[in-house]
Amino acid sequence: MTQRTTIVAVPGSTPTLRNDLVPTRSRRVRGVAVLAAAALLLGLTGCSDQVGSAASVGGVQIAESAVLTDSTDLTAGAAASESSAPASPQFDVRQLDNRQVLTYRIRHQLLQSAAGRVGVTIDEAQVTKALAHGTENLSQQLGVPQSLVPQALRDTFTVLALAQKTPTVTDVKVTITEQRFASRAEAVTARAKAQADPVSFTGEGTEINLVSSAGHQIAPFGVFQVPDGSFVLVQQPAQDAWFVVRVDGRTESKGELAKTLTTMLQSQDQAGVLGLSWVALAPLISGVQIEVNPRFGVWDPLSLQVVPAPGS
């Protein structure tokens, strides 16, 4: 068990920090799920045609070399802090870190482009206070290398404050059928069988909302952006399991962001608070063109992050 610093946002007040005792690997992977956020209809975009570019945000290029360097630093930091709890061999940490880092860099650019319309300010004293707890833990929680922690903290505090001013947003509900497996290899085999014979796929059915339920936990796997009838691989490290998920249907409606964040705070779901707060950025960036190099995945306009390409 490792003592970790957790960002806390209380509606109507300045976001603060507290310490939690949590299993390091669990929080590390939940930190990835934390990146799940918002319903934003930008439309799927293609790859950036700029040589050496990982992505383009409104014409601003994000260098592939910068993403790979950040990802290497993040992976090394995770390995150093989690030597007592190594990752499962089926869990491709590097690919996930690449998408996580690129997601952060895209979100940072989106927040920068919307800065003039945000209308919120942050207290630099809060950033200084957070940094006093050390950048190593914050690096893993925020999903960035230690060199980017100060910038990521400012972005996080800005978005948390913005979320308190954005009570109503677009929510997305997917109806899914799922099967559980012990390893990725088993899940890949089962998905191939299901794709060849969709009628044979049976399992537990459920509905998940991006905003009003635990959708932020599965959003990094692309569940909210694929067409109906698609089969998606979803890893749940906390359950030590892989799932094959068939998306049976999807609907959009109004979601009460402020209400959901309050409920999450009451249940101590800090990961959910951090992830869903990014939904508040959606109304400010409509129309921004985002292109992602397919080497890293595709941009999911519904969860506002880079996810695996369909079928990968």
pLDDT at res. 249: 94
| The pLDDT of residue 191 is above 90 | yes
Q: Delimit the domains of the chain by residue range.
A: 2-166+257-307, 171-253
Class of the CATH domain delimited by 171-253: alpha beta
Contacts with 3 (C-beta within 8 Å, 6 or more apart), sequence order: 19, 20, 21, 137
| The pLDDT of residue 14 is above 60 | no
pLDDT digits (tens, 9 = 90+) for 114-139: 777 777 888 899 899 989 988 888 88
Sign of CA dihedral 237, 215, 231, 99: negative
Task: Give CA separation, 219 vs 36, 117, 123, in Å.
Answer: 5, 27, 31
Mean pLDDT computed over 200-212 = 88
Mean pLDDT computed over 144-154 = 88
**Domain 171-253 in the same topology as domain 2-166+257-307:** no
* Threshold 0.75, pTM exceeds: no
**Cα 61 versus chain centre, distance:** 21
Degrees to nearest 5, angle at CA 170 with 7 and 120: 45
Q: What is the dihedral of CA 209, 213, 216, 218, to 10 degrees?
A: -70
Per CATH, the number for 2-166+257-307 is: 1.10.4030
pLDDT digits (tens, 9 = 90+) for 70-95: 888 877 766 555 544 434 333 356 77
pLDDT at res. 165: 77
Cβ(38)–Cβ(281) under 8 Å? Answer: yes
Which is more confident, 260 or 251? Answer: 251
Band (pLDDT 50/70/90 cuts) for residue 20 is: very low
Q: What is the largest CA-CA distance in the chain?
A: 58
CA–CA gap between residue 294 and residue 312 (Å, rounded): 11
Q: Where are the alpha helices (DSSP H) in the chain?
A: 24-33, 64-81, 93-113, 115-118, 124-131, 135-142, 149-163, 184-196, 257-266, 270-276
Task: Give CA separation, 216 vs 51, 79, 114, 165, 271, in Å.
Answer: 32, 25, 23, 20, 9
pLDDT at res. 78: 61
CA–CA gap between residue 206 and residue 97 (Å, rounded): 29
CA–CA gap between residue 69 and residue 249 (Å, rounded): 38
Percentage with pLDDT > 90 across the chain? 24
